[in-house]
Amino acid sequence: MVDFGNTLKELRKNAGLTQQELADRIWVSKAAVSYYEQSLRCPSPEILVKISQALHVSTDYLLGLEDKKQVIDVSGLNDEDIRLVENTIDLLRSKNNRIRSKKEREY
């Protein structure tokens, strides 16, 4: 089982945020963030959503229900821009699959 507190702390640090900076983004006190990271308290569902948005991960990732870390926020983009982002992701996946296949053939 994933430890929510450790996951939160790691994500916060990877984002280059202090506890106070995260607290400001999710409208809680610095102490609340500290309690969450120490697993002394659990955030409400509303705060959990704010944390996921602030750290650009899904709530399921925060809770250890999925392995996929990244959530791509396309809000504010028009349909054409969203298609460009989707196409870029598809191209990168294809490239990575080709590289992986090549490495597997070499072994």
Could you read off the pLDDT of 36-86 as tens digits, one per residue? 999 999 999 999 999 998 988 889 999 989 887 666 778 899 999 989 988
pLDDT value of residue 11: 93
Rg for the chain, CA atoms, rounded: 18
- Can you read off the two tokens belonging to residue 34? 């500290």
Distance (Å, whole) CA 102 – CA 63: 35
My answer on whether 10 and 47 are in the same domain is: yes
My answer on whether 37 and 80 are in the same domain is: no
Distance (Å, whole) CA 62 – CA 51: 9
Q: How confident is the model at residue 22 (pLDDT cuts 50, 70, 90)?
A: very high
- Can you read off the two tokens belonging to residue 47? 């705060």
Looking at residue 49, its amino acid is V
My answer on whether 77 and 50 are in the same domain is: no
My answer on whether 11 and 57 are in the same domain is: yes
CATH code (residue 53): 1.10.260.40
Contact 85, 74 (CB under 8 A): yes
My answer on whether 44 and 9 are in the same domain is: yes
Q: What is the pTM of this model?
A: 0.67
Contact 55, 12 (CB under 8 A): yes
Q: Domain of 17?
A: 4-62
Residue 93 falls inside a structural domain? yes
